Amino acid sequence: MACISISKPYQLRPRVYPNVSRVQSSYSLNLLHFFSSTHDQIPETTAPNPDRVQAEEGTRMNQELEQRQSQSHSHSQNQRFPRGRRRNTEKLEDLICRMMANRAWTTRLQNSIRGLVPVFDHNLVYNVLHSAKNSEHALQFFRWVERSGLFNHDRETHMKMIEILGRASKLNHARCILLDMPQKGVEWDEDMFIVLIDSYGKNGIVQESVKIFDKMQELGVKRSVKSYDALFKVIFRRGRYMMGKRYFNKMLKEGIAPTKLTYNIMIWGFFLSLRFETAMRFFEDMQSGGISPDVVTYNTMINGYNRFKKMDEAEKLFVEMKEKNIEPTVISYTTMIKGYVGIERVDDALRLFEEMKSFNIKPNDVTFTTLIPGLCDAGKMAEAQIVLKEMVEKYISPKDNSIFMKLLTCQCESGDLEAAADVLKAMIRLSIPTEAAHYGILIENFCKAEMFDRAIKLLDKLVEKDIILRPQISLHMEASAYNPMIQHLCHHGQTGKAEVFFRQLMKKGVLDPSALNNLIRGHSKEGSPDSAFEIIKIMGRRGVPKDADAYKLLVESYLRKGEPADAKTALDSMIEDGHLPDSSLFRSVMESVFEDGRVQTASRVMKSMVEKGVKENMDLVAKILEALFMRGHVEEALGRIDLLMQNGCAPNFDNLLSALSEKDKTIAALKLLDFCLERDCILDVSSYERVLDALLAGGKTLNAYSILSKILEKGGISDWKSCEDLIASLNQEGNTKQADILSRMIRGGETDQGSKKGKKQAAVSS
């Protein structure tokens, strides 16, 4: 493959301007701004003439350059740049790349670039392609300079564009550019096809790599062992070992002799495909063909033996390599260490690690990431800590960061929390992004050891640095880590901190019931029931179950705060979630709302209590019923009484009737008595008389007549001492018919008065 320099020096050639000998690079940024502002004033509907625009831009640039030169000439004679400072000499290719990155690819941008560049030569075009921010910018520039007739691409610019598109996986574009080269008068060569073969292979498209390889013969491009080597890499990387065999035989038929590199690739490929015997045969053929194995061959063979756990054979090869004066490399030692670790011979791995250092062979990141997990699995945590320290001192940052999780876990399991904390410090020193899981392991184990102060410090760092919320995070904190921490904080008056921490976890999709219930308990104990209830709402929206004891603490918190209505709301939520509050909680809420003057609210709590089968607190129930009657909520009171009776909790009707009669709530007493008569409730005779006396005293003679008639029909009292007074009052008010009926009923009842007087009692309805 031809050698191509990465960046070619480009000398800005002088452009012919009147009175201007050369374009100063320090003016380049100002000129860019000048042309950009000019083009922005061109109407969108008018298509600019490129030649005319370029001429106008050249005139304007000449004028500005002359003006700035005359202004700066006199000024520069008396002013020098401070020592240590340099002029801004931005390369032209970098300026063009920055313009393409910051602006859309339009005619305006193209004209601006034209105005900056005197001549588009090979060095400039190549360097712009090399420095372009992305492949799309490079492709646009590549096509534009060609179609505009500014530059005819050569072999090197084609090669650079194919490489760029191959890395960006824009393989169809790369293929078209390659196959169109002869039409432009540019000859292709083998190296260009090798780049395309390799690009298809890296994208996993083996068939296209094979097609390109076969097409080389159709197009008359000579294939050498380099093309075959590139194809073998692609084929074996995807495990197509049979195809690899076919093309190897084809190569031999074409008279192309395999090289040492070819054999190395074949041996590597067959070991990768777990074809041990085939790999060994190629190794033997290589030696019998007079090709001496090199360090790469031995490394490949040792790695292959490792795959099949044949460490004895690998050791022999390692010794043989040394005997042939082939110096082992860091890869050789690392491969051997990996093999020893794989068969749990960690002491041998550690011995080789020390040996390689004695030969001044520096371990690399793979060496450390291979050895450390093996030491952890073998329980050699002291040695693992020493190796980690050495890695940090040499500032070797591994690509595989999983070793730190293993180190943290194993150090904690061994009980050495200080060493585990040092692992986290090592990650920070090596600039390795720490994740929530790393902190979680330490927090969990600090909590287990009751070292809560240190756990809280780690938690503070975790929250302050928003480590949990990092979008690239892949290792999340386990519940076993955050739950003990949250529980501790909630039990020690730091629920606010616990909530801030857990809300970050919630943003990552964590909805742990234990943690959320602990937050409810913590807020409730700390006298912040509103915050606790907010957590309950969140749990309700997301279907997270709530604990009964958390609800109880919340209700009690509201009661302590003197907010009975909110306590009742929390109690209702508790019941809706399927929890049964105990009788004491019902009583506390009922008493609180009742004492707050919320009789109907207390009545609703009582209803919930009875419906849930709680039959205690009947003394408080009687007070609530009486208050309902007293406030005129008669129907509600009767409904509650009916519910109580259905659940076998009938109230003391005699006491209720007596209280209502004494407080002149005659209508309420009348309705309650009527309710009792309809349901054949057991009443004392004195209760009848009290209600009747209250009605008569209140002038409600018809009401007294009506209820007395029902009493008499039920076989109740007939010797009420005020019965004659009621009849007289009825006659006086003109209700003679009712008076006559009542008289006859009383006289009819006197015959069996002795057997029924004051003793008629109906059975209680069930």
Per residue in 105-156, pLDDT (tens digit) is 999 999 999 999 989 999 999 999 999 999 999 999 999 999 999 999 999 9
Long-range contacts of 96-104 (CB under 8 A, 24+ apart): 96/128, 96/141, 97/128, 97/131, 97/132, 97/133, 97/137, 99/32, 100/132, 100/133, 100/137, 100/140, 100/141, 101/133, 101/137, 103/36
**Count of alpha carbons within 13 angstroms of residue 653, beta-carbon side:** 29
- With H, G, I as helix, E, B as strand and everything else as coil, classify residue 218: helix
Using alpha carbons only, what angle is made at residue 19 by residues 16 and 24, rounded to the nearest 5 degrees?
Answer: 70
Residue 633 phi/psi, 5-degree rounding, is: -90, 60
**pLDDT one-digit tens code per residue, 332-345:** 999 999 999 999 99
* pLDDT at position 47 over 50: no
pLDDT at 653 exceeding the cut of 80: yes
Per DSSP, the three-state class of 18 is coil
Helix (H, G, I), strand (E, B), or coil: what is residue 17? strand
| pLDDT attached to residue 749 | 53
Q: Which helix (H) or strand (E) holds 549?
A: helix 548-560
pLDDT of res. 721 = 77
* CA separation for the pair 186, 155 (Å, rounded): 6
Element (DSSP H or E) covering residue 126: helix 122-131
As beta bridge partners, residue 20 has: 17
Answer yes or no: are the C-beta atoms of 442 and 472 closer than 8 Å.
no
C-alpha R_g of the chain: 48
**Given a cut of 70, is residue 527 above it in pLDDT?**
yes
Nearest alpha carbon to residue 171 among 225, 128, 234 = 234
Token pair, residue 615, equals: 């039959």
The continuous run of DSSP H or E covering 483 comes out as: helix 479-491
pLDDT at 301 over 50: yes
pTM for this prediction:
0.70
β-pair partners for 17: 20
Assess whether pLDDT exceeds 70 at residue 759: no
Amino acid symbol at 23: V
Rounded to whole angstroms, how far apart are CA atoms 287 and 454? 62
Q: Render pLDDT for 572-601 as a digit per residue (tens, 0 to 9).
A: 999 999 999 999 999 999 999 999 999 999
**Residue 606 in tokens:** 């009582």
Question: Looking at the DSSP assignment, which residues form a beta bridge with residue 308?
Answer: none
User: Residue range 229-243: average pLDDT?
Assistant: 95
| 92 φ, ψ (degrees, to nearest 5) | -65, -40
Tell me phi and psi for residue 141, to 5 degrees: -65, -40
What one-character-per-residue DSSP string does 560-571 give? HTT-HHHHHHHH
Amino acid letter at 657? L
